[in-house]
Structure 1
Amino acid sequence: MNTVDLHTLTGAYALGALSEQEAAEFGRHLAQCDACTREVRELQETAARLALAVAEVPPADLRTRVMAALPEVRQLPPIPREATVLPMRRRTRRRLPYLAAAACLVVAAVAGGLAVKARQDADAQRERSVRAEQQAAVVSALMAAPDATFHTTALKGGGSGTVVASKRMGRAAFLYRGLPALPEQRVYELWYSRDGSMVPAGLVEPGRSSGTMLLTGGPQGADGVGVTAEPPGGSRTPTSPPLGLLRV
């Protein structure tokens, strides 16, 4: 701060409106500037006279009213030692950029999460499409195999199923039509019948009444395919009577 600037601070200094650093610097200037010293003294005397001119004698019962109102006045929390007290307006202004930045981060995180979710959904859909195309190709080859066999039967409760098998290819498929909806805690499960035991061969996709699925494992050594209703995820052995048995 130069000398010209210091000369303009006499009024602010007289009224105590300078910061601590500015007041200290101006105080050092006063020790060397008689003109500013006189001006500050005159301004302080004028301010004191103005204060006395507008002063009023307080009512006699003012102290009593103030003391009676104290219990109803909310007290401010204690200020921690060495804490820096900032004006409320300044603190609010400083917080606004941080709040805006935080809001931007939240929006970016949500947008990023939605983008990741959309990409994951797209990848899952693409994988399902690839699997469906591969299965369709295998089923087409299976049905065209020279040794392919076709066995169809009506299922208990409604609908029908057809087993297409080729022992040369070592594959079998289940074609189903009109399957009735099962209770929420049940799914259709396919089984190979081998030497009197039932071996899991796959689950029908829940909610589908018609479609085609490749059976897990090959038909070698199997004499039939069974259909049952099982708990979600399937069972190791059938837990309900068969809804249908088809030859292989």
Structure 2
Amino acid sequence: MTAHDWYIENRAAFVARSLEPVEERTFRDHLGRCDQCTREVARLERELAWLPMAVTPVAPAPDFVRRMATAILDRPARWRRHVPLAAAAGLALVAAGTALAARSEGRDLRVALVARETRLMALEDTLSVLRRANMVLQTRISMDGYPQGGMLIFQEAVSHRWGVIVHGLPPAPSGSKYQFWFITESGMVRSVEVAASMQRPAFMTLPMPGVAAPVMGAALTMEPMVDGSSEPQGVTLAHVVF
């Protein structure tokens, strides 16, 4: 590469005024001594005369400065408008998700609270019957001829209800269920199914059966799961008469 090659490569840069000040002065001094570079620079200036950066000044379009300034100044403005909108949208989504989660959690808590209050009210009702009972009956439960827990009946004369406790009874075998019966002068009256467990007693608060015949006692049997008979069909586990 010769020294003149540098001037050849930088002719366009000189016309575009992109050389460093020292390089531009060196190139300009060279033009006074080189006809070839002077002709090429003049040709480039004619071809690029329409550009604002050309050697010959060219007047810009009437609204060029305003449009350029608006484009430059509006870009961050639009960005500033979009960023708050995007942030607001993101915050709205987060808030909506949080609200839905809180609503779902609140609904679950309300359901759990209602279930707890229902159990508490049932327990308080059972305890009230037990406290006001004017008669308590007790009998053993026998399974396969062997003692297996017991059954207590608390009779409450004011509300005419019974508080029944069944304890020490294992869960019913598969396909079977424990059934509580009222014994009346006219026969047996089906009452409720007993959910037994060795871990905890089964509590029941029972109103008197809607029959005209007086109640004389109670019984606990093990019946087939699909049985719907009005009379006991299975094995009698406990039987008590006043």
Task: Please report the TM-score for the alignment, with normalisation by the length of structure 1.
Answer: 0.50
Q: Which of the numbers 218, 221, 242 marks the counterpart of 1:228?
A: 221
Q: Which runs of 5+ in 2 are unaligned?
A: 1-48, 56-81
1:182 aligns with 2:178: no
- 2:228 paired with 1:241: no
List per-residue Cα deviations over 1:94-137 (Å, max 9, x = no partner): 77754553343223212211112112212321232122122211
Which position in structure 1 is the counterpart of 2:153?
Answer: 163
Pair 1:131–1:192, CA change in 2 (3 A): same
1:137-158 Cα offsets, whole Å, 9 max, x none, are: 122111xx2xx25241223262
How many correspondences in the alignment?
161
Matched, 1:213 2:200: no
TM-score (norm 2): 0.51
Q: How does 1:57-96 map to 2 (within 5 A)?
A: none
Cα 1:120–1:228 change in 2 (3 A) is same
Q: 2:139 corresponds to which residue?
A: 152
C-alpha distance in structure 2 between counterparts of 1:236 and 1:44, whole Å: 107
In the superposition, relative to structure 1, how do residues 126 and 233 fare at CA in structure 2: closer, same or farther (>3 Å)? farther
Which whole-Å CA distance do the structure 2 matches of 1:96 and 1:232 have between them? 62
Summarize deviations over 1:33-53 as a string: whole Å, max 9, x none: xxxxxxx9424989xxxxxxx
- Computed over aligned residues only, the root mean square deviation of the Cα atoms, in angstroms, reads 4.0
CA contact (8 A) 2:138 2:153 kept: yes
Distance 2:86 2:98 in 1: 18
Structure 2 distance, partners of 1:232, 1:95, is: 62
Offset, 1:233:
11
Residues of 2 paired with 1:206 and 1:215: CA distance?
16
5 Å matches for 1:3-152?
A: 41-43=50-52, 98=89, 101-142=92-133, 145=134, 148-152=135-139
Q: For 1:193 and 1:171, how far apart are their aligned partners in 2?
A: 15
Q: Deviations over 1:1-50 (max 9, x none)?
A: xxxxxxxxxxxxxxxxxxxxxxxxxxxxxxxxxxxxxxx9424989xxxx
Query: Closer, same or farther in 2 for the Cα pair 1:118/1:216, shift >3 Å?
Result: same
Which is richer in strand?
Answer: 2
Aligned to 2:192: 202
Of the two, which has the highest radius of gyration?
A: 2
